[in-house]
Amino acid sequence: MKIASIATHTIAASIDKPLLFGIGAFSTFTATLVEVRTDDDHVGIGEAIARRAPEVVTTVVDKLLAPVLVGRDARDVEGLWDEMFGLLRRWGHSRGFVFEAISGIDIALHDLLARAAGLPLFKFLGGHGRAAVKCYASSVYFAGFDEMAAEAAAQVAKGHTAVKVKIGRSDALGGLRADVESVRAVRQAVGPHVDIMLDANGAYDAATTIRAARQLEPLDITWLEEPVPPDDVSGYELIRRNTAIPLAAGESEFGVFGFRDLIERRAIDVLQPEIARVGGFTGARRVAALAHAYNLAYAPHTGFSGGVAHLASLHLAAAAPNFMTYEYFYAPNALRDIFVQPFPEPDRGMLAVPEGPGLGFDLNWELIRQYEVKR
C-alpha cells in the first residue's frame, strides 16, 4: 500500500452576513483539502486549516511534504507523522502552516486506512466507540442583547442542552459591561438547566478576565474559552487562580508540545484540539493521552473549519478518552456541507457518528469544483 500521489484542493465560500466576534468580522470560510491515493487505488481525504493565505498550506503539502511521502507505506502513519514533523522542527518550524499541512495529510491517511479496512474511523481508532456524542450549539455571535438571548433560546428549543456565546467586545461595542449584560440576558432566556460556554477569542488581558469572571460566576458558566491570547500562558495561570469558572483553550495550539506547557502549569481545565491544526488524528490522540494522564476534559473544536475537519473531529470525539463535548457549529458554513450525504444534525444534545467506512461520507466533487480557488 504505497503512497502514489498527494493532491490538494483549496476551497473558499462566503456568507451573506459576516459573523462578528472578539477578533473582528468573519465572512469567508477557506480550507485546503488533501487527497492521498495509493498504488492499489485506495483514497483518503483530509483537511488542513487555512484561515488566511491557503496557498501557503497548499505549497507546504505540494512542495515540502508530498515528495517525502510518495512511495512510502501508507500504513506507517505515526512514523510518517514523526518524519514530517522532524523535517523542519530543528530549523525552528514546529508550529504554524507546516503543522496545519501535516494535519491534512494525517487525516487523509487515517481516512484511507479505515476505508481500506471497511471500518468507520472511530472504530478503526480502537477507542471508546461511542455511536453518538454529546454536543453543544456554537455559537451566538455579537448582536443586540435581546437578539442574542432569542437566538440562544431558539437553539435550546431545537433540543440543545448547551450553547456557546461570544464575548470579548471592543470598547466601541461596549466592552466588558456589554459582555456581562449579554450573558445575563442569555441565561435568563435559556433558564437554569442549560450549559453556557463563553468564548472571548483572546480579546481580554488577565486582569479584565478576572473582573469579568467575578461578575459571571453567579450565572453558572460551564467554561470560559480563550480569555487571553494563546501564547499568554502566565495569564491563564493567573486567571485560573482567581476564578471558579473552568478555563478552556487549545484551538490555536499545535500538537502535543503546544499543549504541554498549558497542561503542566495547570493553566486550563478543558483541552480543545482542532484536528486540522493539531496534527490530525495522530496529534489529537497524543494530546488526548495527556488529557487522560492529567485528568482534564477533552472537547474537540471545529469552528470555522470545513466539513472534512468537522467530520474528523466527530470521529475523534467518539474515540477519545476523557471526552466532554463536541462543538456543533450551527452558523451558515457552505464548506461544512460538501458531502453527498447531509451532515449529521443533533438530537436532544447528541450527535450520531456516521457508520460508513473511513470518515463515513463521500465528498460532492461538483460542489468542490464550485468552491475551488483557482491557482
For residue 309, give the CATH number of its domain.
3.20.20.120
* In a shared domain, residues 314 and 337: yes
DSSP 207: H
- State how many domains the chain has: 2
Instruction: Answer whether residue 54 shows pLDDT above 90.
Output: no
Helix or strand run (H / E) with residue 283: helix 280-293
pLDDT, residue 44, reads 98
Question: Is residue 356 in some structural domain?
Answer: yes
Cell numbers representing residue 7 in the block: 493532491
What gap in Å lies between CA 161 and CA 350, rounded to an integer? 9
- Weakest mean pLDDT among 70-74, 86-90, 156-160, 181-185: 86-90
Q: What is the mean pLDDT of residues 315-329?
A: 98
What gap in Å lies between CA 310 and CA 307, rounded to an integer? 5
* In a shared domain, residues 289 and 359: yes
* In a shared domain, residues 111 and 130: no
Contacts of 60 (CB under 8 A, 6+ apart): 97, 98, 100, 101
Last residue of a domain, one of 118, 133, 163: 118
Cell numbers representing residue 258 in the block: 503546544
* In a shared domain, residues 113 and 140: no
* In a shared domain, residues 47 and 16: yes
pLDDT, residue 50, reads 86
Cell numbers representing residue 123 in the block: 472504530
pLDDT in tens, 259-291: 999 999 999 999 999 999 999 999 999 999 999
Question: Is residue 219 in some structural domain?
Answer: yes
Contacts of 82 (CB under 8 A, 6+ apart): none
Q: At 55, is the pLDDT very low, low, confident or very high (cuts 50, 70, 90)?
A: confident
pLDDT, residue 96, reads 85
Q: At 3, is the pLDDT very low, low, confident or very high (cuts 50, 70, 90)?
A: very high
pLDDT, residue 94, reads 77
Q: Which amino acid is at 296?
A: L
Instruction: Answer whether residue 57 shows pLDDT above 90.
Output: yes
Last residue of a domain, one of 95, 118, 141: 118
What gap in Å lies between CA 148 and CA 144, rounded to an integer? 6
pLDDT in tens, 8-49: 999 999 998 899 999 888 999 999 999 999 999 999 999 999
Angle (deg, nearest 10), helices 255-264 and 280-293 = 20
Q: Domain range spanning residue 281?
A: 123-365
pLDDT in tens, 330-366: 998 999 999 999 999 999 999 999 999 999 999 999 9
Angle (deg, nearest 10), helices 96-117 and 307-319 = 70
User: How many percent of the chain have pLDDT more than 90?
Assistant: 91
Cβ atoms of 309 and 282 within 8 Å: the answer is no
Query: If you search the block for the grid coordinates 487505488, which residue do you land on?
Result: 41
Last residue of a domain, one of 86, 118, 150: 118
Question: Is residue 247 in some structural domain?
Answer: yes
Cβ atoms of 70 and 3 within 8 Å: the answer is yes
What gap in Å lies between CA 36 and CA 199, rounded to an integer? 35
- On the 0-12 / 13-18 / 19+ scale of CB atoms within 10 A, 25 is exposed
* In a shared domain, residues 104 and 189: no
Question: Is residue 371 in some structural domain?
Answer: no
Own/partner pairs for 253-258, CB < 8 Å, 24+ apart?
253/277, 253/278, 254/94, 254/95, 254/96, 254/99, 254/100, 254/278, 254/279, 254/283, 255/85, 255/94, 255/95, 255/99, 255/279, 255/283, 255/286, 255/287, 256/283, 256/286, 256/287, 256/290, 257/94, 258/95
* In a shared domain, residues 63 and 17: yes
Q: Collapsing DSSP states into helix, strand and coil, what is residue 54?
A: helix
* In a shared domain, residues 248 and 318: yes
CB atoms within 10 A of CB 41: 7
* In a shared domain, residues 20 and 158: no
Listed residue (75, 68, 61, 76) closest to 115, CA to CA = 75
Question: Is residue 375 in some structural domain?
Answer: no
Instruction: Answer whether residue 191 shows pLDDT above 90.
Output: yes
Q: At 52, is the pLDDT very low, low, confident or very high (cuts 50, 70, 90)?
A: confident
* In a shared domain, residues 129 and 95: no
pLDDT, residue 283, reads 97
Q: At 59, is the pLDDT very low, low, confident or very high (cuts 50, 70, 90)?
A: very high
pLDDT, residue 374, reads 79
Instruction: Answer whether residue 92 shows pLDDT above 80.
Output: no
Contacts of 53 (CB under 8 A, 6+ apart): none
Question: Is residue 372 in some structural domain?
Answer: no
Instruction: Answer whether residue 375 shows pLDDT above 80.
Output: no
Question: Is residue 143 in some structural domain?
Answer: yes
Q: At 324, is the pLDDT very low, low, confident or very high (cuts 50, 70, 90)?
A: very high
- Weakest mean pLDDT among 72-76, 85-89, 303-307: 85-89
Could you list the beta-strand ranges (E) of the chain: 3-21, 24-38, 43-49, 132-140, 162-166, 195-199, 221-225, 247-249, 270-271, 297-298, 326-329, 350-352
CATH number, position 79: 3.30.390.10
Question: Is residue 370 in some structural domain?
Answer: no
User: How many percent of the chain have pLDDT more than 70?
Assistant: 100
Name the average pLDDT for the chain.
96
Beta bridge partners of 165: 140, 198
* In a shared domain, residues 127 and 267: yes
Q: What is the mean pLDDT of residues 208-214?
A: 98
* In a shared domain, residues 205 and 282: yes
- On the 0-12 / 13-18 / 19+ scale of CB atoms within 10 A, 244 is exposed
